[in-house]
Amino acid sequence: MKTIKIVALLAVVLTATHALAAEQLQIDGSTTVGPIGDAFAEAFKDKASITVSKTGSGDGAAALLEGRCDIAMMSRFMKDAEFKAAVEKGIMPVAHAIAMDGVCTVVHPSNPVSALTSEQIRDIYMCKITNWKEVGGADMPIVVISRDTSSGTYETFEGLVMNKEKMGDCVEYVNSNPQMHARVKSTIGAIGYVGLGFLDRNVKALKVNDVIPTRSTIAKGIYPVSRPLFLFTNGYPKLGSMIFQFCTFHLTEEGQEIIEDKGFVAVTAY
Amino acid sequence: MSKNTSKPSSNPAAAQFSRPLRLSVSQDLRGLLAKNIGHGILFSITFVSVLAVMAIFYFVVQESVPFIFKGGFRDSLSRVTEFLTSTAWYPQKEENPEYGALAIIVGSLYVTFCSLIIAVPIGVLAAVFLSDIAPFSVRQYCKPIIEILAAIPSVAYGVFAVMVVAPWMQKTLGFSTGTNAINASLILSVMALPTIISVAEDALSAIGREIREASYGLGATRAETMIKVVIPAAHSGIIAAVILGMMRAIGETMVVWMASGNSSRIPSPWWDLSQSVRTMTATIAGELGEVPKDTDHYYVLFAIGLLLLIFTFGLNMTSEFFMTRFKKKSRGL
Amino acid sequence: MQVRIRQAWNHLFTILSSGSIVLLVAALLLFLIPMLRKGIPAVVFRGTVEFRKMQAELFDRGDTMALQKETEQTWQARQEIYTILDHFSRGIDTEKLTDEAKDLYRDYGQILRYQETPKEQYTELRGRAKEIRDHLLDAFESTDKDEIAAHLDAIEALRDEAAFSGTPVEKMFTMTGDFRKLIATVDLSKRDIFADELEVVKEELYNLFGPRPDEQTPQLAMKRFGATRWDVAEKHLTFLVWQEKWIPSDDGQTLVAKQVRRDDPLEGSFAGTELAPLFSLTEKILKDTMKPRFTLYWQYFIDDSTPGHYFGGVGPEVLGTLLLTLLAMCFSIPLGVISAAYLVEYAGDNLIVKIIRICINTLAGVPSIVYGLFGMAFFVAYITKQPGVLSASMTLALLVLPVIIRASEEAIRAVPQTYREAAMGLGAGKFRSFLTVTLPAAGPGILTGIILSLSRAAGETAPILFAGAAALAPIPDFGGKWWLQETRALSYGCYDITVGDKLAMMVPHKQFGMVMTLIILVLCLNVIAIVIRSRMSKKLRGM
């Protein structure tokens, strides 16, 4: 009799704790959108227990397809192959554009060059121009730095500036925005590209085709190298559910404040 | 034959000793079964490591086969040739992705050889010091230091390389970039040194005193004894040590990922160590997260992993060969 | 002569050999000292009142009464600075005035609709209000005093007491009057430059002091407090007072940085304005406004962190690492010790045993990233179906298995044969003698091997990269299926914080702090192992 009582009590306690366990949310994906995901997760931490895993846009899409995550953060739209694979598996990916990001070309602040055309940038990255004096700067070799080929930032840069041309083999690769910022900050002859949120007094943003990247030029689409950041879900989330609240948080004032604090442009900025 | 003459019924404890010492199968079936089954269980538990190795090979091969054997025989051959000989690594291109891994493979070998060039002389000299020159107390202190060097996590070395060594290289040495081949090689040599030192020291110690005493007896100085007699006698063991160090360096991921610059090209004057290179391990670690499953890119990364596995397996076998040769020799002497 | 040369070579050789050991020790010190030195400030530093506020709010720590008193004192000291700032910015901060005017216009439209005014009247009133608003906005934007005066006069012409009394438009007229008085005192030609620099000044003051009490509390935790450390506060003070200008160098080739004080009479942006005294004042009273005090933040090792590790500690990472390694030990210790026992005690010297030994050596040589690949391809794909604690710890178990087998084998072999013979002589069978005599005697050696593999597993990153580590994950609460969840880990966290987030650049002491925690953990484990081994060797030698 005693054993049965103990077992019953244990069962009740276990089910109670399981029921009380907060709702779980799994978010995978891009390292660029990662900081926004982290900050949103912090805002929701009393209502749900959220896991944010930053392994890359491609992995986020794969996780969504396999049902391993509830929301996929991606800094690019889904590729055709991914979309097709998703539909075949019965997943309908729905995109929520939560912020805009601009990819700004940066150089060391001591570099006298302050504006380049996109053709010049393309030639630099294809290793046809190798010295700063060819574009009006000092006589110094150009240290060309790029993001690794599987990053969404790289793809935006490749699509909008390189026009899908291959980069030359003098290009160094780094794995993330902060690394890029650190390299350009400490290397006098460097040129690289970072997201808008990484512009500060340690790097200088170049004008591209005479447009300076700022919040308003990106929001209005005047700055050519800008892109939206997405959250992908399987179908439109049920109204009022935790996923729904997460995906519409960018429409609230707090969400926009977070997005701006993280250095991105809120979609409704203008 | 003297036997125990006390009667069995009078002393229960003595009853055990009246049993025959060797039981036949029918008399002790339980014992026999227990022994063999126990033996079998232990064997199968030990066999798990063999299963593990086979599983590793199997799964890595399984995921890289779709890349190697796509299309007909000629297609596969051209793909493998491109993989091994072309330096164009553009796996994410939309139309015609290119999977030329030569620059990456050369990068791995380049960084490994540079680190060995730094580590082998220092390691062998340190092993000589520890086995022959140092007094006992100094040796007792040095061993823990070497173990601590070996125990520091690779991530910590990587952070050190990126945040301390790279800025120093740029500021003081004036390199155009601080994350380059020499940075990675330096840190890798520090990581490979403990392995080289301990195995080489074991090898040198295993050579008996007789050889050394014979050499001293003929009037040689300590340097001549070591260089001309002991090290050649232990040469198999030292080669094994070098190969183990090489295995450590080639398989290292975090340090090269953070410190080598990841630029997929062969350094253009080949002796220019201040240029960035990319290694196989860094390619896998950097790209696997971004890649959708079951695509060509995914398979080719496993193919690189297979290449790594083959390299290290080959190096392992070579070092085993040298170690057994060394053991035979030292026992024979 | 020959002898001398040979002796010289001998000495050179000795020097080189000892030199290489010295080089090794130097390398170790060169590595440890900077890392520990840069990591210690994460735990031991001078914390300001902002730090204590943050601890009270986020972690419920500290004496509330004393903190309140401190907050009031610092607020009083900061008042002076804020007064100067507000006084100056009123004339410059046209954005605020513009927003205010726009809001007033919108409110007026809302009131009109609420009152359900008829259509023509609505259009007419609203049109006039729009004209007033446009004049105001133009006045705010322009820098020509005459133009401004013209706009303000035009607004006066539209003033109509009857129609607009009691509505927001009246406030627009008050703004007009105020603005007219304001422009009389401010040099408008420099307003653009002032505006940009003023933004920087405001931002740095925000970084120093945090939001003002009357401002809305920001959403992000990192924005709710000012500078929590005294060294960060001093850095922000430098950014506040000194401005960095890039001017062409002598040869015209590059730009060089020149630091100029903002209130410098010759070149400073705010020279001679009302804002100039703010800079020297802030320098003087910074200590009073921040109240720095020596802080020992030992809770760093157990606190949770805010996203991005801006505040807080590495508690979840430590917990995650311990969880992963202990679980890995649960898998690998039985496997490893039993395998070692079999290999020493029972195995013959046939082909199968040779194959087993070759495989163990191969396992020891497999690169860690290939373990990561295997973990992803097998453990995650087939066993747990998703990355989590279980798959990561199984991968780690496989990684350390060869280490345990080797160390246990050595330890068991090192037990003198006399022990075994004595046990057998007393009548124990092979298995019993192993269990009761050999194993305890080899205990310290096996324990050393276990501790060394613990430290190896704690430090590995590559195997768990894809099998279960996440940058931000809830602390495992052992409620639901905790073994299927991802977890944070020290090794992965070190990597992520160094190359991952923008915030990490702003808190370098946190980066080094996490690395320092990992190094300390690994070093402690190794020191314990070394001590056990030296005790054991003494015992065996004494025996």
Most confidently modeled range among A206-210, C198-202, C348-352: A206-210
Mutate to test the interface with C, among B16, B32, B129, B321 (most CBs of C within 10 A): B129
Q: Alpha-carbon distance A179 to C500, whole Å?
A: 8
CA A236 to chain B, closest CA, distance in angstroms equals 23
Q: Are residues C387 and C357 part of one domain? A: yes
3-class DSSP assignment, residue B97:
coil
Q: pLDDT tens digits for C268-291?
A: 777 767 777 888 888 888 888 888
Q: Are residues A144 and A56 part of one domain? A: no
Burial of C402 (0-12, 13-18, 19+ CB in 10 A): buried
Q: What is the DSSP letter of A250?
A: G
Query: How far is Cα of residue B99 from the mean position of the Cα atoms in its chain?
Result: 27
Q: Which residues of B touch A143 (CB under 8 A)?
A: 176-177
Q: Check residue C171 and give its pLDDT.
A: 79
Q: Are residues A176 and A108 part of one domain? A: yes
Residue type, B75: D
Q: Shortest CB distance from B262 goes to which of A66, A148, A186?
A: A148
Q: Shortest CB distance from A21 goes to which of C239, C244, C479?
A: C479
CA B259 to chain A, closest CA, distance in angstroms equals 10
CA nearest to A197 within chain C: C502
**How many angstroms separate the Cα of C537 from the Cα of each of B76, B149, C362, C411?**
58, 22, 29, 11
Average pLDDT, integer, range C207-218: 82
Q: Are residues C95 and C80 part of one domain? A: no
Q: Which residues of A touch C389 (CB under 8 A)?
A: none
Q: pLDDT tens digits for A136-195?
A: 888 888 889 888 776 777 878 888 888 888 888 778 877 777 778 878 887 888 899 988
Q: pLDDT tens digits for B47-78?
A: 888 888 899 999 999 888 888 887 778 888 88
Q: Which residues, 6+ apart, have CB-to-CB distance to A9 below 8 Å?
A: none
Does some domain include residue C43?
Answer: no
CA B297 to chain C, closest CA, distance in angstroms equals 14
Q: Are residues C417 and C374 part of one domain? A: yes
**How many angstroms separate the Cα of A206 from the Cα of each of A57, A117, A124, A130, A210?**
27, 10, 14, 18, 9
Average pLDDT, integer, range C521-536: 88
Q: pLDDT tens digits for A37-84?
A: 888 888 887 788 888 887 777 778 888 888 888 899 988 888 888 889
**C511 CB near a chain B CB, below 8 Å?**
yes
User: Given 3-state DSSP classes, what are the helix, strand and coil percentages for chain A, each rounded to the nearest 5?
Assistant: 40, 25, 35
Quote the mean pLDDT of chain A.
82
Provide the number of CB pairs (under 8 Å) joining chain B to chain C: 242
Residue C263 and residue C280 in contact, taking contact as beta carbons nearer than 8 Å: yes
Whole-number percent of chain A with pLDDT over 90: 9
Residue type, C171: K
Q: Are residues A203 and A150 part of one domain? A: yes
Does some domain include residue C39?
Answer: no
Q: Do C220 and A201 touch (CB under 8 A)?
A: no
CA nearest to C200 within chain A: A201
Residue ranges and CATH numbers for the domains of chain B are 102-292+303-332 (1.10.3720.10)
CA nearest to C253 within chain A: A138
Q: Check residue C308 and give its pLDDT.
A: 67
Strands in B210-302 per DSSP E: none
Whole-number percent of chain B with pLDDT over 90: 31
Q: How many domains does chain A have?
A: 2
Q: Do C253 and A138 touch (CB under 8 A)?
A: yes
Does some domain include residue C404?
Answer: yes
**Last residue of a domain, which of C166, C188, C210?**
C188
Q: Which residues of C touch A137 (CB under 8 A)?
A: 253-254
Burial of C253 (0-12, 13-18, 19+ CB in 10 A): middle
Residue C367 and residue B250 in contact, taking contact as beta carbons nearer than 8 Å: yes
Q: Check residue A3 and give its pLDDT.
A: 60
Q: Shortest CB distance from C246 goes to which of A55, A110, A263?
A: A110
Quote the mean pLDDT of chain C.
83
Q: Check residue B239 and give its pLDDT.
A: 92
CA nearest to C255 within chain A: A110
CA C22 to chain A, closest CA, distance in angstroms equals 32
Domain that holds residue A43: 2-100+228-266
Q: Check residue B128 and give its pLDDT.
A: 92
Domain that holds residue C165: 90-188
Q: What is the DSSP letter of C379?
A: I
Query: Residue B249: which pLDDT band, with cuts at 50, 70 and 90?
Result: very high
| CATH number of the domain enclosing A176 | 3.40.190.10
Q: Check residue B305 and give its pLDDT.
A: 92
Q: Are residues C283 and C338 part of one domain? A: no
Strand partners, C257: C246
- Please give the residue that has the higher pLDDT: either C348 or C393: C393
How many other C-beta atoms are found inside a 10 Å radius of the C-beta of residue B274? 17
Q: Are residues C470 and C520 part of one domain? A: yes
CA C472 to chain A, closest CA, distance in angstroms equals 5
Q: Check residue A22 and give its pLDDT.
A: 57
Q: Are residues C159 and C213 part of one domain? A: no
Q: Are residues A209 and A116 part of one domain? A: yes
Q: Which residues of A touch C504 (CB under 8 A)?
A: 178
CA A226 to chain C, closest CA, distance in angstroms equals 19
Q: How far apart are the first and last CA of chain B?
A: 45
Q: Shortest CB distance from A181 goes to which of C257, C308, C505?
A: C505
Average pLDDT, integer, range A3-20: 49
Q: Do B163 and C511 touch (CB under 8 A)?
A: yes
CA A2 to chain B, closest CA, distance in angstroms equals 38
Q: Are residues C226 and C129 part of one domain? A: no
Q: Are residues C105 and C182 part of one domain? A: yes
Q: Which residues of A touch B94 (CB under 8 A)?
A: 164
Q: How many domains does chain C have?
A: 3
CA nearest to A184 within chain B: B177
| CATH number of the domain enclosing C480 | 1.10.3720.10
Query: Residue C31: which pLDDT band, with cuts at 50, 70 and 90?
Result: very high
Q: Check residue B129 and give its pLDDT.
A: 92
> Hey, what are A251's tokens?
């429409």
Phi-psi domain of B88 (left: phi exceeds 0; alpha: psi -120 through 50; beta: other): beta
Q: pLDDT tens digits for A235-253?
A: 898 888 888 999 889 888 8
Q: Which residues of C touch B162 (CB under 8 A)?
A: 498-499
CA atoms within 13 A on the CB side of A223: 27
Q: Check residue B332 and give its pLDDT.
A: 67
Burial of B47 (0-12, 13-18, 19+ CB in 10 A): middle
Does some domain include residue C119?
Answer: yes
Q: Are residues A241 and A190 part of one domain? A: no
Q: Which residues of A touch C221 (CB under 8 A)?
A: 42
CA A162 to chain C, closest CA, distance in angstroms equals 25
Q: What is the 3-state secondary structure (H, E, C) of C366-390?
A: CCHHHHHHHHHHHHHHHHHCCCCHH
Count, residues in chain A: 270
**Last residue of a domain, which of C308, C335, C355?**
C308
Burial of A248 (0-12, 13-18, 19+ CB in 10 A): middle
**C427 CB near a chain B CB, below 8 Å?**
no
Q: Are residues A205 and A143 part of one domain? A: yes
Q: Shortest CB distance from C9 goes to which of B39, B45, B223?
A: B223
Q: Are residues C214 and C114 part of one domain? A: no
Average pLDDT, integer, range C114-131: 83
Q: Do B145 and C28 touch (CB under 8 A)?
A: yes
Mutate to test the interface with C, among A151, A176, A194, A198 (most CBs of C within 10 A): A176
Q: Which residues, 6+ apart, have CB-to-CB distance to C446 below 8 Å?
A: C337, C340, C404, C407, C408, C411, C412, C439
How many other C-beta atoms are found inside a 10 Å radius of the C-beta of residue A115? 15
Q: Are residues A108 and A210 part of one domain? A: yes
Per-residue exposure over C266-291, b if at least 16 CB sit within 10 Å of its own CB, e if not: eebbbeebebbebbeebeeebeebbb
**B143 CB near a chain A CB, below 8 Å?**
no
DSSP string, C114-177: HTT--HHHHHHHHHHHHHHHHHHHHHHH---HHHHHHHHHHHHHT--HHHHTTSHHHHHHHHHH
How many other C-beta atoms are found inside a 10 Å radius of the C-beta of residue B310? 12
Most confidently modeled range among A17-26, B302-311, C147-156, C188-197: B302-311
Q: Check residue C142 and give its pLDDT.
A: 74
Task: Tell me which chains share at least 3 CB pairs under 8 Å with chain C.
Answer: A, B
Q: Are residues A195 and A117 part of one domain? A: yes
Q: pLDDT tens digits for B8-51?
A: 455 666 666 777 777 777 777 887 888 888 888 888 888 888 88
3-class DSSP assignment, residue B283:
helix
**How many angstroms separate the Cα of B301 from the Cα of each of B22, B64, B305?**
61, 8, 6
Q: Which residues of B touch A150 (CB under 8 A)?
A: 92, 286-287, 289-291, 297
**C394 CB near a chain B CB, below 8 Å?**
no
Q: Do C18 and B302 touch (CB under 8 A)?
A: no
**B174 CB near a chain A CB, below 8 Å?**
no
Q: Shortest CB distance from B176 goes to which of A56, A61, A187?
A: A187
Q: Are residues A177 and A108 part of one domain? A: yes
CA C422 to chain B, closest CA, distance in angstroms equals 19
Q: Alpha-carbon distance A10 to C330, whole Å?
A: 26
Q: Are residues A215 and A106 part of one domain? A: yes
Mutate to test the interface with C, among A49, A148, A184 (most CBs of C within 10 A): A49
Does some domain include residue C33?
Answer: no
State the pTM of this model.
0.82
Q: Are residues C288 and C270 part of one domain? A: yes
Q: Which residues of B touch C365 (CB under 8 A)?
A: 244, 247, 251, 312-313, 315-316
CA B266 to chain A, closest CA, distance in angstroms equals 9
Q: Are residues A214 and A108 part of one domain? A: yes
Q: Check residue A20 and give its pLDDT.
A: 42
Q: Are residues A157 and A123 part of one domain? A: yes
**Last residue of a domain, which of C308, C336, C351?**
C308
Choose the weakest-confidence range: A51-60, C45-54, C86-95, C183-192.
C183-192
3-class DSSP assignment, residue A24:
strand
Q: Check residue C91 and give its pLDDT.
A: 63
Nearest to C375 by CA among C301, C464, C270: C464
**B87 CB near a chain A CB, below 8 Å?**
yes
Q: Is B224's pLDDT higher than 80?
A: yes
> Hey, what are C239's tokens?
């950014």
Does some domain include residue C282?
Answer: yes
CA C437 to chain B, closest CA, distance in angstroms equals 18
Q: Which residues of C touch B42 (CB under 8 A)?
A: 338, 341-342, 346
Q: Are residues C320 and C303 part of one domain? A: no
Does some domain include residue C536?
Answer: yes
